[in-house]
Amino acid sequence: MGIRFRKNRFMLGLAMPMILFVLVFSYVPMFGAIVAFKRYKFNEGILGSEWIGMTNFKFLFQTPDLWRIVRNTLGYNALFIALDLVFSVLVALLLFELTSRKWLKLYQTVMFFPYFLSWVVVAYMVYAFLNPRSGMLNQLFEWFGWPSINWYTEPGPWTAIFPIANLWKQIGFSAIIYYAGLVGIDQSYFEAARIDGAGRWRIMTKISLPFLYPVISILTILAVGHIFEADFGLFYQLPMNSPVLLPTTDVIDTFIYRTLTQMGNIGVSAAVGLVKSVVGLAMVVAVNLLVRRMNPDNALF
């Protein structure tokens, strides 16, 4: 053990900052999970607050909004994962087929740029399209003679707006990861395929895509671990926190925010967060077991 440590001490030194970061910001805060079992009061602190057991969890499971927030959270996230997987892999494969480095860098930059935008900025960009009076979409509808839509009072259209906005913002980041996986493939496979007369489609489906399966499996497993979480910025900022839209825009994270701001109940908010973490862990383990049965080499652990 000591010999192995001395041999790898340089690599361990490089990893130490990230190990400390994860320890301080991921493991130490787990102590705060006990707030979910307490009637937390600021003046008494975490340890001094009254222990109330599962009361905060009962509030969560008895709320009339439970079905709505769970349905929306799981439904949207499942759709996000599927769309991101399909389109990101497709874009990565198309980028990999480009031979011009100039155009490749241009496309990567254009696609990656939205990832760095705040949802606040994206919300106002979307508002420019959906403004009931002067929005670009309603003006286009009027030009075709169609009736205009008040997007911020109609819950229905948001089931399509959210996936489109999320895909536009995230696809660049995911595509870059898959593209990096493609770049790592040994070029001798492609050369041998071309010598045998294989076309681009054949190479893409028989070489490029199969080599991406391990990356696809790992990223999908990690994404499923967050299926019970929702991007607060997306679901709060884009619909401008309109209460009329709650039937299709209310998710677990917006419910936590309302519970905290309207009731000031930190315990309930912590209970919801703990449930999210437990469900996420269970989903990761379950999906990883499924992948392991199908192909052990593609499993995360």
- Please tell me whether the overall predicted TM-score, pTM, comes out greater than 0.75 for this model: yes
3-state secondary structure string across 61-100: HHCCCHHHHHHHHHHHHHHHHHHHHHHHHHHHHHHHHCCC
Q: Which of 179-183, 193-197, 215-219, 296-300 has the lowest mean pLDDT?
A: 296-300
**44 falls in which pLDDT band (50, 70, 90)?**
confident
Q: For all residues of the chain together, what is the average pLDDT? A: 89
What's residue 93's pLDDT?
Answer: 92
State which fold the 48-298 domain adopts: MetI-like fold (1.10.3720)
What's residue 21's pLDDT?
Answer: 94
- 199-217 mean pLDDT: 89
The string of pLDDT tens digits covering residues 85-108 is 999 999 999 998 887 888 888 888
Could you give the dihedral angle defined by the CA atoms of residues 182, 183, 189 and 191, in that order, rounded to the nearest 10 degrees? 130
The string of pLDDT tens digits covering residues 216-245 is 999 999 899 889 888 999 999 999 888 899
Burial class, 29, CB count within 10 angstroms (exposed 0-12 / middle 13-18 / buried 19+): exposed
**2 falls in which pLDDT band (50, 70, 90)?**
low
- Domains of the chain by residue range: 48-298
- 6-23 mean pLDDT: 86
**1 falls in which pLDDT band (50, 70, 90)?**
low
Q: How many CB atoms lie within 10 A of CB 10?
A: 9
What's residue 145's pLDDT?
Answer: 87
**277 falls in which pLDDT band (50, 70, 90)?**
confident
DSSP one-letter code for 185: S
